[in-house]
Structure 1
Amino acid sequence: MTQNASTPRQIAERLQIAILTSEQMRLHWADESTGIHYMEVVMPLEWLESPEGDYLLCRVLAENLEVRVRVDLIQNLPAPVK
């Protein structure tokens, strides 16, 4: 994992731990194109970086659907593990 300046290192590390441990997370985020808010239990799958920002590829467990969530649009980022 390389570090994009847009995501604080401790948040990127926390989300990477969630990916590695298959941690289920209840995330609240806004869709970047529509602005619609979602709150779902997800399984983080992969950390993605792009010029537009960092993304978290997740599986929405209730619908077995994969979504790409822009990290800076997550409203309830998990607290970093210390």
Structure 2
Amino acid sequence: MTGKAFDPMPPLDWLRTFEAAARLSNFTAAAAELGLTQAAVSQHIRFLEERLKSRLSARLARGVALSPEGAAYLPHIQAAFATIG
């Protein structure tokens, strides 16, 4: 097989990081919940945004606000995690 047949799903840890950061509206709180550094949370979100070619959030002075794309994506991620437990 030649070429790129499909774009694999983003890593689950990136998706879990996005879900926590979005739910908590804060990268630092998400990092504490997930046992990561704040820098790792930022990196996961950045990599996910690059993979999806879409801005999912905006960093604010005190937290994170979801973009319209991020707000639309979040329920799908939450439903998927609820399904897989």
Q: Structure 1 length normalisation: TM-score? A: 0.31
Instruction: Kindly indicate which of the two structures has a greater share of residues assigned to strand.
Output: 1
Query: Which protein is bigger by CA-based radius of gyration?
Result: 2
Q: Structure 2 length normalisation: TM-score? A: 0.30
Q: Which has the higher contact order (CA 8 A, sep 6+)?
A: 1
